[in-house]
Structure 1
Amino acid sequence: MADAPLNRSGSLLRFAAMSLLGSATETLLFHLLLKVMQGPLLTRAVSLAAVLGIMLAMLRCIDLTAAGRLSVGRAGIVAILLTSAILNYGLYAALITGLPSLQPLAATVLASLSALCFAIFGYSRFAFRE
């Protein structure tokens, strides 16, 4: 039983690290694509879709379920990531359209940080319920 908190914190840290890496990668990809593509909304959708695909591929290599002992499986993790990506894009679109003077990269960072907090909270709530 002493391994349960260790497994939980380890899986939460792995999820947080994967999500943070995904957010950083998405922000970098967005910055690079912004110079090539037209429109920040389309660019953000493309960069989010690309990084979501990368994160889903990473799920095959990283065990976030703590050897199957958590109440959320891979399908639940995918649902959390998809919901987080939709929230991320929605916040970004609201920031860009609501505050036209805001730089697209700043809106990306704000939306990504909010979605990252949501994803970590969602993972901890669904993964560790008894």
Structure 2
Amino acid sequence: GLQGSTDEECCEQKFCTAWTCSDKTKWVHKSAQHGKTNLDRRGFSDEECCDEKYCLAEICDPATQWKGKEGLDKIQGSTHEQCCEKIFCDDFVCDTDVNGTGVGTQWYKRVDTNTYKWQGSTNEECCMPIYCSQYTTSHPTRWV
């Protein structure tokens, strides 16, 4: 029989087909067999049986609400939370808000609450429309 007194001498390593990658957002399973030899891939860890997934700029979509984190292509991950930073409406000024009060003639700024911050960088995402049906003229003798 086999001689030895260690795992390496007395045991065979499991096959990667029995391994599940620990985090599907950060790892993708390698093929069951080595490409050149067609031998079943052995291993029982993420490093041996899985390939790292790295953030792609396309994940940070829509671009009006998300921007890639610094060093994006070196970050392991594939989700908004792992790869992107939220763009908040804080600094956005709605069109027609000429004096910076949050209220213009056609849009008014959405208001953040304690539990929710509006995300975006466009009128549609950060502002509410003001419709003429909500308006009453102060000069009814001059306007209909």
* Range of TM-score over shorter length: under 0.3
More strand by share: 2
Q: When the two structures are superposed, what TM-score results if normalisation uses the length of structure 1?
A: 0.28
More helix by share: 1
**Which entry has the higher C-alpha Rg, 1 or 2?**
2
Higher relative contact order (CA 8 A, sep 6+): 1
Q: When the two structures are superposed, what TM-score results if normalisation uses the length of structure 2?
A: 0.26
